[in-house]
Amino acid sequence: SNADVYYEQAIEGGAEAICPMTTEEDWRIGILKDPFGHTWEIGYPL
């Protein structure tokens, strides 16, 4: 899925990694904080 790519692009663009992309139960998910302080979850169901 593109979620891993989007996560890496966000980090390269200045976001802070809160939780790296991992596989948890039936999801591939990562959490990051953008430069404006908003927290984002990026993921997809497996």
| Sequential DSSP letters for 5-28 | HHHHHHHHTTPEEEEEEEEETTEE
Contact between 23 and 44 under an 8 Å Cβ cutoff? The reply is no
Q: What is the residue extent of each domain of the chain?
A: 3-45
- pLDDT computed for residue 41 by the predictor: 97
Would the pLDDT of 36 be above 90? yes
- pLDDT computed for residue 17 by the predictor: 98
- pLDDT computed for residue 21 by the predictor: 97
**Is 17 exposed, middle or buried (CB count within 10 Å of its CB: 0-12, 13-18, 19+)?**
middle
pTM (two decimals): 0.85
Q: What is the pLDDT of residues 3-28, one digit of tens each?
A: 999 999 999 999 999 999 999 999 99
Q: How far is CA 15 from CA 10, 36, 46, in A?
A: 5, 9, 25
User: pLDDT-based confidence at 1, cuts 50/70/90?
Assistant: confident
Q: Which CATH architecture has domain 3-45?
A: 2-Layer Sandwich (3.30)
> What's the CA gap between 12 and 26, in Å, rounded?
27
